[in-house]
Structure formats: structure tokens, C-alpha cells
Amino acid sequence: MNGLGGLNKSPNGIVIGLVQVQLPVVRTKAELTAQTQKVVGLVSKARANMPTMDLVVLPEYSLHGLSMDTNPTIMCTLDGPEVAALKQACIDNKIWGCFSIMELNPGGYPYNSGIVIDDQGKLQLYYRKMHPWVPVEPWEPGDVGIPVFTGPKGARIALIICHDGMFPEMARECAYKGAEIMLRTAGYTAPIRESWRFTNQSNAFCNLMVTASVCMCGSDGQFDSMGEAMVCNFDGSIIAHGTTGRVDEIVTAEVRPDLVREARRHWGVENNIYQFGHRGYTAVAGGAQDCPYTYMTDLAAGRYKLPWEDEVVVTDGTSCGFPRPTRRFGEILKDAAE
């Protein structure tokens, strides 16, 4: 099925390249410009490395590093020079690309955003990280939902970012909206290695969906990222795995969205994404389609509260040096000050 990592590409296959980018230090606009050119070079490397590659995926923080610096002079915009350079790289190399930017937000903290650009240089996906890795990350929580786009060979593809993948609801939402492949980009460090591995596998199996995931790699002198590029098949098995920790390594795999579609239509046992909304269809026609999950109904009603909620110790970013927020979600800085 993997065709030797994409060397022997099948007619229905999509070859994905996951780049374990060296963790950079970016403090100034000049350093951001230099790192952008480094990423552009890695897109060219991916094309030269695997002529059959359809989509190259670079990890979260590949432009900005892990400093959590919110300095507006090094934030990106969708119409800025960094995104323009990434678009040109996709055109020049005739390849789709998935990239990470820290996005300027005049109304609050920056967004941690992901974009996918097609081989014509057009923006096909724009996503804002829903679940920043609190209390460490200061980013504004995402407000554009989880988009799904049509990629190479007509594959339906979604993107989530790092900590998003620890919430099974995120992967389920991707699949529910039709994603056959879910990308997950990250900047995770070594303590998360095992949970990274098993969530990538479980997100795939529980939703009959291919997952393709990659972290930053190497050290910036303070933090150590782990690489750990992974491609998991819809049955949860690992197709490809970057275990060497080698910086800028490109881990490749061929995936088959046509077989995802086949499984979703023809599996009986363990067709979990269907059976979740059709409980016990052997006993009752069509299965039960109610919502018996209290946490879902409470969240939808705006009353989500854990039994131990009042005892939770860490509920803001003060432990990581950020001020306690006063602005509510949806407010901009000006509104909160009035």
C-alpha cells in the first residue's frame, strides 16, 4: 500500500511528505525573513527528494520557533511577504504545501494559524488552532471552525494543530465533515512522545481516516522538539514513522483515500464513525440517534462544568508569565477596556 514511501505511486495514491524542520530561533523581522527562505528551500528539497510527491507538510512553528513571542513585528498576515513567498514556492515546485504562521490579531493575542496552498499558489485552507496548549501558549482560541478542502486526486483533507489532536472530538469533527485525510502539525517536545503516537493512531482508527502528523525537530538551545513524523492508516496501523530525530528529514508515504471511502461504506464491525450516530442498529431500525452524552449537551448549552471544576488549580497563563486575562472570547481589546 505504501509503494516504498511513494517511489512506486499507484494511480489512486497520494504521496505526502512530512518535513521534520530544524527548530529555529526567530526574534526579529530579519530572522523571520531568513527562516521563511529556509522553509521555501525545504519545499524545493521535498520536490527534488520525491518527484511523485503531491503534498508537503511543514510543522507548527516552522517559521517562528517556540519562543511564544507575540511581538507584532514578527507576526504574519495572509497578504504579507511570508505567505507570498510560500505561495510562490508551491508554484515553482508544482506542489501543494501545508504551512504554519503566527497570525497578527489587532483585537487580542495572535492566532496560531495553518494554511494549505495548492500547486497554483492559491489558498485552499485557512485554519486557526482551536485548542492552544495552555497554559504555555498565549494564542487566541480559533474561531473559524475546522474547514475541509478538496486536495490532490479529489481527496478530502482537514488540518488540526498540535494539542488539538489530544481531543478526540477534533478528529471526529474532521471526519464528520468528510475528511479522508487529517493533517496534524505540531511543535511538541519529547515528554509528549508516547501520547503523540497513540493519539495519531486512535484518531485514525476511531474515524476510519488517514492521519499524517509531524513535529518540529532538534534543539534551539533551549527547547528540544522531537520530529516524530507519522502516517497512520485508517485501521490505526502505522504506514511511516520518523524515529531517527534527524532534523529536516522528509518522511514520505503514499496513502489511499479511495480505500478510506471503501472502508467507510463497506465495513460492518468497527465502522465507528457511522455507528456513533446509529447506536445498536441490529436491535432497532436505523439505530438510536439521540445524544446521550451529557458533556455534549452541556457544552452546546453553554453550561459545561466538570464535577471537580472548582478544584482545578491552573486556569490561566500566570504560571507561564502571562497576565491574567480579563477579555472574554469574542471581545476585542477595545471592547474589554470600555
Which range of residues forms the domain containing residue 314?
294-337
Closest C-alpha to 128, from 154, 97, 89, 162? 162
Task: Clarify whether residues 298 and 270 are in a common domain.
Answer: no
CATH of the domain at 81: 3.60.110.10
Residue 36: pLDDT above 90? yes
Query: Do 177 and 102 share a structural domain?
Result: yes
Inside any domain, residue 130: yes
Q: Are residues 191 and 306 in the same domain?
A: no
Torsion of the alpha carbons at 146, 164, 125 and 210, rounded to the nearest 10: -90
pLDDT at position 4: 87
Question: What CA–CA distance (Å, rounded) separates 2 from 196?
Answer: 22
Structural domain total, the chain:
2
Give the length of the chain: 338
Catalytic hit among 76, 87, 90, 129:
129
> Is residue 194 among the annotated active site residues?
no
- Spell out the SS3 assignment of 121-153: CCEEEEEECCCCCCCCCCCECCCCCCCEEECHH
Q: Do 249 and 319 have their domain in common?
A: no
Stretch 202-223: mean pLDDT: 97
- Of the residues 76, 90, 98, 162, only one is catalytic, namely 162
Q: Of all residues in the chain, what percent carry a pLDDT higher than 70? A: 98
Single out the residue of 50, 22, 31 nearest to residue 218, CA to CA. 22
The answer to whether position 116 is within a domain reads: yes
Same domain, 231 and 330: no
Kindly state the average pLDDT of the residues 243-251.
95
Average pLDDT on 224-229 reads 96
Does residue 54 sit within a domain?
yes
Residues 235 and 101 in one domain: yes
Active site residue 129: yes
Residue 244 domain-assigned (yes or no): yes
Q: Is 177 a catalytic residue?
A: no
Q: Are residues 304 and 262 in the same domain?
A: no
207/300 same-domain check: no
The residue from 248, 275, 302 where one domain ends is 275
What is the value of pTM for the model shown?
Answer: 0.96
CA angle 51, 55, 32 (to 5 degrees): 105
Q: Are residues 126 and 217 in the same domain?
A: yes
Q: Is residue 136 part of a domain?
A: yes
Q: Which residues contact 219 (CB under 8 A, 6 or more apart)?
A: 23, 225
pLDDT above 80 (res 2): no
Q: Which of 60, 228, 249, 254 is catalytic?
A: 60
pLDDT of residue 1: 54
Task: Please check whether residue 202 lies inside any domain of the structure.
Answer: yes
Judge whether residue 336 has pLDDT over 60: no
The pLDDT mean for the chain works out to 96
Residue 306 in any domain: the answer is yes
147-198: per-residue pLDDT in tens? 999 999 999 999 999 999 999 999 999 999 999 999 999 999 999 999 999 9
Mean pLDDT, residues 281-296 taken together:
97
Same domain for 223 and 323? Answer: no
Per-residue confidence (pLDDT) for residue 334, from 0 to 100: 67
Amino acid 332: pLDDT: 86
DSSP one-letter code for 40:
H
Kindly state whether residues 98 and 222 are assigned to the same domain: yes
Pair (265, 325) in one structural domain: no
Question: Is 282 among the domain residues?
Answer: no
